[in-house]
Amino acid sequence: MSTVKLTVNGKAVSADVEDRTLLVHLLRDHLNLTGTHVGCDTSQCGACVVHIDGRAVKSCTVLAGQAAGSSVTTIEGIAKGDELHPMQAAFRDNHGLQCGYCTPGMIMSAIDIVHRHSGQLDEETVRQELEGNICRCTGYHNIVKAVLDAAGRMKVAQAAE
Amino acid sequence: MGVEGIGASVVRKEDRRFITGKGRYVDDIKLVGMTHAHFIRSPHAHAKIKSIDTSEAMKMPGVVGVLTGQQIVDDKIGNLICGWAITSKDGTGMKMGAWPAMAPETVRFVGQAVAVVIAETKNQARDAAEAVVVNYEELPAVPDIRAAIKPGAPQLHPEAPGNVIYDWVIGDEGATDAAFKSAANVVSLDITNNRLVPNAMEPRAAIAEYNEPEEHFTLYTTSQNPHVARLVLSAFYNIAQEHKLRVVAPDVGGGFGSKIFIYPEEMVALWASKKVGRPVKWTGDRTEAFLTDAHGRDHLTKAEMAFDKDNKVTGLRVKTYANLGGYMSLFSSSVPTYLYATLLSGQYNIPNIFAEVISVYTNTVPVDAYRGAGRPEASFVVERLMETAARQLKVDPAELRRKNFITQFPHQTPVIMAYDIGDFGASLDAAMKAIDYAGFAARKAKAKSEGKLRGIGVSCYIEACGIAPSKAVGSLGAGVGLWESAEVRVNPVGTIEILTGSHSHGQGHETTFCQLIADRLGVPISQVSIVHGDTDKVQFGMGTYGSRSAAVGLTAILKAMEKVEAKAKKIAAHQLEASENDIVIENGEFKVAGTDKSLALPMVALAAYTAHNLPDGMEPGLKEGAFYDPTNFTFPAGAYICEMEVDAATGKSSFVNFVAADDFGRLINPMIVEGQVHGGLAQGIGQALLEGVVYDASGQLLTASFMDYTMPRADDLPSFKLSHTTTLCPGNPLGVKGCGEAGAIGASAAVINAITDAIGNNKLEMPATPDRVWHAIHG
């Protein structure tokens, strides 16, 4: 067992976990942040994507101990109070989700995609960048629309800040 | 329609919890004192269990119990059943072998559970499972249909000689043979319909809790139909009487058919929770999903189509072998029979059809309904034949279809189905226009000049949805009725709760069902809640599958609404001192037509519950229920056209365009309908290009992870161009047909027709991987 200290969604947290504990299980089982999902066991599906120090990471590929000292953001931490993150709003407005299971990982990956491309995105780029996130419901059509829409919204939001 | 009524693309009410990470799926639930289960699964496809030694595992840290298949048999937990009886052509019943929830003696597929460890934590359960020693005596395995039907093949179940479950026929064999004898042309094809894994993104999970003093179980489970689960667990599996078993299906992360069935893991969790006296949780991992979720499709078919000299179809003859896996799953028997062969007429006027279906056991995961369930297989047969015929007869594929379209309705096919309405020409026209079919020859020539192979493929599908008229399915062998129930509760303050037996696992019922209420009463959908997925709240229901929730579930709500409205009008008329016949409902108010007198819904509701001033003899309250049994199937239909370009050097196929023109009748929420089509298309395209289960000769599943089984990803798919044509379904008052499966039913034939057109030969099986396409081109 080890004590792992890190920041999650802006709050300092500490948990005693087995050394083999993955970050996703720290989040889900110890911190009750169940928005981050587990959809596979081979780091293929992306349902568990969170941000570690601002970068999208599959939290099933990271030991909890490896995240010690870092700042983790999960799907529960991106809205500002009642105000949704532009990516969340774009997923809703473009019907970019159905069962909702892949959605948190999709949204966390998509935010990182927009950041890494400085908002300069086209359909082909979005499709290539979403390669690490599997959705079985939407055929990706509306997810791609949502990400492109959000890229515009995030630019506007950034300009306003 | 109003901004939130029928026909409006209302943004979904349920989305906020999903986009903020506040969905509540089974694995998100923790109960006090909860233990964790891990199953020990067979590594062999076919073997006798010689012994199971649990002694070391019992000593491992945190272990609460280790339970085996013999114990579940000793405790008289029932075997899993198939609930749809099929009769063979010789009049004998289907040959169902015994399927205990954990194998006591014999395992028949890799992944079948033989024992379970219950421990304090999931990791402790996994660790202890490693210490359970199972000695097997391997038996020769039957990995596929061809191996199963070979003379002298290893036998799986003593009940099923030759591994044949049934040999079933439909249609008029003599008349069909005669049509072939007099045919001007005959087209024939051998078709493999590849085996698929549903892979809903949420793995299956179950939490069972036993309350000893009350002798009462609660099961949280990833189910598309919690009431059917309770019924089967109670009536057949001997878990508990119905009133002593509550089944809850909270947020469920996709189903696609795979979560219809009641699986061994739920049964074991329930049984074990009583054994160990603690709540038991099991959450499958993805490998377990590959190894235990019911697979889909897996047919071998020989199909022939007869044409007269005018290119009119005169006959269709089909022989299909269907692989049902190692055991008969809950509805497995119906999928390759009544959900498949009854759709072999497609959109065409075919006077003579005869089909024979032989279902067999193999040492593989059980096969059952997966999105479309039998109808994709039927559509693929018919649409591949049509395309092949057009090439053989040297006529345009679209026009050959048009020439043979059914144009008069109702139309009785030779294979049971009576199509109520449709306009197949309109869908085909819309699709041809959307893809600029007329301009294809020029595009193909241009592509050729650039060294690329360009092809176009048409697929005109029809399906039978709105499952289903209970009397009809009962006469065909179904063990259940397929009606739906609803209850409308108007609360004293005028808010409304809709209780439905349908279950939403991505379909958006929490929005679309509210839209009906908004349409009827003119109240905002924020005033309406949908209650579903809990047998303690909703009395009974048949669940969601077969594109039935709008056509059957929503119609049941409408029927209950009509009763509520009738009573509310009586109350309003009484209070307003008007005639009941003069009351109209507008914008949430009950108005006396032609006057300015009105009473808002909350006042009517309050009057119903205070009961101070109700018409003489009226019961207080404003709550009504209804059971709705459909009179017929519904028949969504449409035309899909796909244009693809193939790189002859690599065999890689790329989408140029994919258009879909569907007729779903009335659309409740076009945005949600289009989302359903997108998802279905992705699964149909996935089958055509990417997905396929591979077993090796010993019955090992080689495609048991997302590393090995190719799921469609964003960069594998195009954006889709959708359109709708409309003929209203006459079979239900809403005029809806259902849209959940269309894409998966129609898409695969369009893709394969396009690629085979591009490469100029027909020797291509699904999935059409670059390797297979390259070999088809280069031999």
B691 contact A CB<8A: no
Tokens of B751: 């893709």
Q: Find out if CATH 1.10.940.10 is the number for domain B483-628.
A: no
Average pLDDT, chain A: 97
pLDDT at residue A161 in the model: 75
Judge residue B760's burial from the number of C-beta atoms within 10 Å of its C-beta, 0-12 exposed, 13-18 middle, 19 or more buried. Answer: exposed
With beta carbons under 8 A apart, name residues in chain B contacting A105: none
- DSSP for A125-146, please give it: HHHHHGGG---SSSTTHHHHHH
Separation in Å, CA of B14 to nearest CA in chain A: 9
- DSSP reduced 3-state for B567: helix
Q: How far is B546 from chain A (nearest CA, A)?
A: 16
- Which chain B positions have a beta carbon within 8 Å of A99's beta carbon? 200-202, 251-254, 505-506
- Distance between CA atoms of B607 and B493, rounded to whole angstroms? 10
Q: Does B382 touch chain A (CB under 8 A)?
A: no
Q: What is the pLDDT of residue B346?
A: 98
What torsion, rounded to 10 degrees, do the Cα atoms B679, B680, B681, B685 define?
100
| 386-415 of B, contacting A, C-beta below 8 A | none
Numbers of helices and strands, H then E, in chain A: 5, 5
Residue A57 Cα, gap to closest chain B Cα (Å): 17
- CA–CA gap between residue B122 and residue B361 (Å, rounded): 34
To the nearest whole Å, the CA of A6 is away from the closest chain B CA by: 20
Q: Using one digit for the tens of pLDDT, what is the confidence trace for B263-309?
A: 999 999 999 999 999 999 999 999 999 999 999 999 999 999 999 99
Average pLDDT over residues B168-180: 98
Contact B429/B408 with Cβ under 8 angstroms? Answer: no
Q: Which residue, among B9, B15, B19, would best test binding to A if mutated, counting the most A CBs under 10 Å from its CB?
A: B19
How large is the C-alpha radius of gyration of chain B? 27
**Whole-angstrom Cα distance, residue B379 to residue A106?**
33
For residue range A53-98, list pLDDT tens digits in order: 999 999 999 999 999 999 999 999 999 999 999 999 999 999 999 9
* Beta-strand pair B216-221/B453-462: unpaired
Given an 8 Å threshold on Cβ–Cβ distance, is A100 in contact with B508?
no
Q: Is the pLDDT of residue B20 over 80?
A: yes
- Average of pLDDT values for B405-417? 98
Region B675-679 average pLDDT: 98
Q: Write the DSSP assignment of A81-104 as a string of letters.
A: TTBPPHHHHHHHHTT--SS-SSHH
Report the candidate in B268, B202, B280, B214 with the shortest Cα–Cα distance to residue B241.
B214
**Residues in CB range of B562: below 8 A, 6 or more apart:** none
Backbone dihedral region of B416: left (phi > 0), alpha (psi from -120 to 50 degrees) or beta? left
| Cβ atoms B544, B254 nearer than 8 A | no
Every domain range in chain B assigned CATH 3.90.1170.50:
31-139+202-253+259-292
Q: Do A39 and B286 touch (CB under 8 A)?
A: yes
DSSP strand E in B440-517: where? 453-462, 484-490, 496-500
**A vs B: CB pairs below 8 A:** 181
The DSSP line for B399-425 is HHHHHHB--SSSEE-SSS-EE----HH
In this prediction, what percent of chain B has a pLDDT beyond 70? 100
Average pLDDT over every residue of B377-390: 98
- The DSSP line for B312-348 is -EEEEEEEEEEE--SS--TTGGGTTTTTTGGGTTTTB
For testing contact with chain A, the best of B11, B15, B124 (most A CBs within 10 A):
B15
- Pairing state between β B453-462 and B598-600: unpaired
Structure token digits, residue B626? 């209804």
Please answer yes or no on whether A42 and B706 come within 8 Å at the CB atom.
Answer: yes
Looking at CA atoms only, how far is residue A161 from chain B in angstroms?
23
Specify the amino acid at residue B41.
Answer: R
Query: What Å distances lie between residue B164 and A130, B82, B514, B695, CA to CA?
Result: 45, 15, 47, 20
Residue B139 pLDDT exceeds 90: yes
Query: In the CATH hierarchy, which fold is given to the domain comprising B299-468+632-778?
Result: Aldehyde Oxidoreductase; domain 4 (3.30.365)
Q: How confident is the model at residue B640 (pLDDT cuts 50, 70, 90)?
A: very high
> Which residue intervals of chain B bear CATH 3.30.365.10?
299-468+632-778, 483-628
Tell me the two tokens of residue B352: 């003579």
d(CA B745, CA B238): 37
Q: Which residue of B has its CA nearest to A45?
A: B706
Partner-chain contact A144 B714, CB within 8 Å: yes
Residue B254: CB atoms within 10 Å: 25
Beta strands across the sheet bearing B353-360: B164-171, B353-360, B313-323, B299-307, B185-193
Kindly compute the dihedral angle of the four CA atoms of residues B123, B129, B131, B134, in this order, to the nearest 10 degrees. -170
Q: Report cis status (omega within 30 of 0) of the bond before B578.
A: no
Q: What is the pLDDT of residue A158?
A: 82
User: What is the number of H-type helices and E-type strands within chain B?
Assistant: 20, 28
User: Taking the CA of residue B125 as centre, how many other CA atoms within 13 Å lie in the half-sphere pointing to its CB?
Assistant: 24
B chain contacts of residue A140, beta-carbon cutoff 8 Å:
678, 682, 712-714, 717
Q: Which of B375, B316, B318, B317 is closest to B349 using CA atoms? A: B316
User: What is the rounded average pLDDT of the residues A108-117?
Assistant: 98
Average pLDDT, chain B: 97
At residue B540, does pLDDT exceed 90?
A: yes
Q: Whole-model pTM above 0.90? A: yes
Measure the CA–CA gap between B497 and B518, rounded to whole angstroms.
Answer: 13
| B254 to A101: CB separation less than 8 angstroms, yes or no | yes
| Helix pair B742-759, B770-778: axis angle to 10 deg | 30
Burial of B15 by CB count in 10 Å (0-12 exposed, 13-18 middle, 19+ buried)?
buried
**What is the chain A residue with the closest CA to B200?**
A136
B203 preceded by a cis bond (ω within 30 of 0): no
Torsion sign over Cα B282, B288, B290, B293: negative
Mean pLDDT of A25-30: 98
Nearest-CA residue of chain A relative to B509?
Answer: A98
- Using DSSP, state whether B396 is helix, strand or coil: coil
**Tokens linked to A79:** 């809205």
Confidence of residue B229 (pLDDT cuts 50, 70, 90): very high
Rounded to whole angstroms, the Cα distance separating B90 from B86 reads 12
Tell me how far the alpha carbon of residue B280 is from its chain's centroid. 28
Asked if ipTM goes beyond 0.95, one says: yes
Copy the structure tokens of residue B743: 């894409």
CA–CA separation, B286 and B198 (whole Å): 11
B394 secondary structure, DSSP code = T
Residue B439 at interface with chain A, using a CB cutoff of 8 Å: no
pLDDT at B779: 86
Give percent helix, percent strand, percent coil of chain B, each to the nearest 5.
30, 25, 45
Residue range B707-718: mean pLDDT, rounded: 98
Q: Report d(CA B374, CA B301) in Å as an integer.
A: 13
Query: Does pLDDT of B733 surpass 70?
Result: yes
Per-residue pLDDT tens over the stretch B205-226: 999 999 999 999 999 999 999 9
Which is more confidently placed, B549 or A156? B549
Structural element, H or E, at residue B36 = strand B35-41
Backbone angles phi, psi at B265, to 5 degrees: -65, -35
Out of 3.90.1170.50, 3.40.50.150, 3.90.1150.10, 2.140.10.10, the CATH code matching B31-139+202-253+259-292 is: 3.90.1170.50
Q: How far is CA B712 from CA A57, A105, B255, B374, in A?
A: 21, 17, 17, 21
Q: What is the pLDDT of residues B144-154, one digit of tens each?
A: 999 999 999 99
A97 within 8 A of A137, measured Cβ to Cβ = yes
CB atoms within 10 A of CB B646: 27
Mean pLDDT across B417-442: 98
Domains identified in chain A and CATH numbers? 2-77 (3.10.20.30), 86-160 (1.10.150.120)
Which residues are registered as beta bridge partners of B723?
B661
Q: Is the pLDDT at B1 greater than 60, yes or no?
A: no
The mean pLDDT of B673-697, rounded to a whole number, is 98
Of B22, B201, B719, the CB nearest to A136: B201
Q: What percent of chain B has pLDDT over 90?
A: 99
φ and ψ of B682, to 5 deg: -60, -40
The DSSP secondary-structure symbol of B610 reads: H
Min Cα separation A159/chain B (Å): 24
| Measured distance CA(B253)–CA(A39) in Å, rounded | 10
Question: What is the spatial distance between Cα B608 and Cα B604, in angstroms, rounded to a whole number?
Answer: 6
B 705-764 → A contacts, CB under 8 A:
705-707, 711-715, 717, 719-720, 743
